[in-house]
Chain A
Amino acid sequence: MTVLVGSSVSLEEFEEVDVFISWLDALPSSAKYSVLGTDKFFIVGRYGKEMLKRSDFEVVNILGKRFLVVSGEAALFPELFHFARKNNATFVVAFNEVQNLIDLSFCKAKFWAHSQESDLVVFSLLCMQGKVYNNVYVPLRKSENQTGIVAESLAPVYLSFRDGTLVSEEKK
């Protein structure tokens, strides 16, 4: 399963993307599945068509894997990640808006901690003053560099997973 975290502009560089994760954007028809969101709501689409729109959080099936998608403050609490695990989720996608660098650092630390505790892969999109930071965290033992941090940047991130485990990454 290939996952691209970034803007729809970056999507054009790839022939096939299974899951496209982005801060609110137009639903692209080139990705099999899209998960787009903001701090207030999120949309899950398939080949450009909207399947689901929710505020708060929801567990969704995408290509045989369960994703917990969450918008806003709910993602800050470990209970939600416990809920994700109990619902057999492998991935968490979280959309949050932050006001300043302090909150940005705090949210990054929180999502890293949630990933380590819950053993889940976490895609955290943090929007600060119009810029979206794409962060990807995995449990330490599944992390190539043993830090649990796959990406923390403004650049798009292209990842391949096999059975829920990260097998390769590419930053554009």
Chain B
Amino acid sequence: MFDDLVWRVVRKRLVANRKMSRTHRKRKGVKRVVCAFQTLPKPFKSANDFVDRLLEEIRDDLVFADLLVLPRLVGNLLYGVWPVLNKRKIDEIYERLKTPYLNLLKYISKELSISIVAAGVEDFKKPPEVYVLKDGCLIYKRDLSGDEQPTAVFLDDWAIAILRREETFSFEKMRPLVEKGVYTFILLDLEEEDKNWWIEKTGLWARSQSLEVFGVKASPFGQFLDRTFKGKSYVSAPVPLTPSLNGFLTKTDERNSKVSVDLDLELLSRKRHENYKRFVSLFKET
């Protein structure tokens, strides 16, 4: 009874009504990807608080941003909307946040006219769904705990694909997508273990080199209730496309909350070794 009363109050705070807009300047062949909240922020007090803090973080990128990537757990931080957090009922709270968080993402995508990749609210029992939104509509979702294959998601004039962690350690699931013109792969991960950069490089970074594609890995860093997450976020690219020749266009540490980078898809297309088609049969025959 009391919970229902609280929920009625809380529900209103989960609806954003803050006005926002932007002028989006599209560029031919170049896409700006902005990953916000890589360092986990404090819990949000309302949906409007979420929007305010997001706008504050991505303010410098608003004009050129083509894709906004939000890491896992960000939706869970809306638990701050509850006046008093009952940790015994936290699972129920997460469940109640799922739809309002998706609606909030739709609102942001529509108002800012921006594509968004974000994970749903975690229940910590299994990996969540990852959503892709465009112009306020949910155009794709992938259940990270299911066994469905990754597919190409088309955003205007470019294509992306959402990967599960295990799919980043081999070229096998990615090559068919590359053949369809997907050169941007996104992984939303959640890690409590602090892995060194050599281990980190065996995933998306290595595929960026072998398949000659862009890799965007967003994995939050920071405290969430009584758990500590030590993820590393980065954008990888083939070595010749990275100014430091290290295969990273950018990477975060605990001091950086935002990752913002321009993906030069046109340059990538020009530089790619396309002769791989000759060798695809080697893989298929075996």
Show the binding face of A for B, using Cβ within 8 Å.
Answer: 73-74, 76-80, 82-83, 86-87, 101-103, 105-106, 109-110, 112-114, 116-117, 140, 146-148
Contacts and interface: CB of A to CB of B under 8 A. Distances in A.
Contacts of A114: 210
Interface string B251-286: 000000000000000000000010110111011001
Given A106-B240, A109-B239, A117-B169, A77 B206 contact: no
18 contacts: A73-B273, A76-B273, A77-B275, A79-B171, A79-B283, A80-B282, A82-B172, A83-B283, A102-B239, A105-B240, A109-B209, A109-B239, A110-B209, A112-B201, A113-B201, A113-B202, A116-B202, A117-B210
Chain B interface, >50% SS class: helix
B5 interface: no
A116 B170 CA distance: 10
Nearest to A113: B206
Contacts of B170: 117
Interface residues of B, number: 30
A73 B209 contact: no
A129 to B, nearest CB: 18
B199 A77 contact: no
Given A102-B240, A103-B240, A140-B202, A110 B245 contact: no
B128 interface: no
A42 to B, nearest CB: 17
Nearest to B276: A77
A140 B199 CA distance: 8
A86 B206 contact: no
A15 B161 CA distance: 54
B10 interface: no
A87 B199 CA distance: 27
Contacts of A106: 209, 238-240
Output the residue of B169, B199, B239, B273 with the most chain A CB within 10 A: B239
Interface of B: 169-172, 175, 196, 198-199, 201-202, 205-207, 209-211, 238-240, 245, 247, 273, 275-276, 278-280, 282-283, 286
Contacts of B206: 112-113, 116-117
Contacts of B279: 74, 77, 79-80, 83
Contacts of B209: 106, 109-110, 112-113
Given A110-B210, A117-B171, A83 B245 contact: no
A87 B276 CA distance: 19
B198 A78 contact: no
Contacts of B199: 140
Contact of A82 (B198, B239, B286): B286
A139 B222 CA distance: 30
Contacts of A146: 196, 198
A147 B198 CA distance: 6
Nearest to B239: A106
Contacts of A116: 201-202, 206
B286 A105 contact: no
A83 B280 CA distance: 10
A159 B280 CA distance: 33
Contact of B198 (A87, A103, A110, A148): A148
A82 B283 contact: yes
Contacts of A87: 286
- Top 6 closest pairs, chain A to chain B, by CB: A113-B206, A86-B286, A106-B239, A78-B171, A79-B279, A79-B283
Contact of A83 (B172, B211, B282): B282
Given A117-B169, A140-B199, A147-B198, A105 B245 contact: yes
A78 B210 contact: yes
A79 B169 contact: no
Contacts of A109: 209, 239, 247
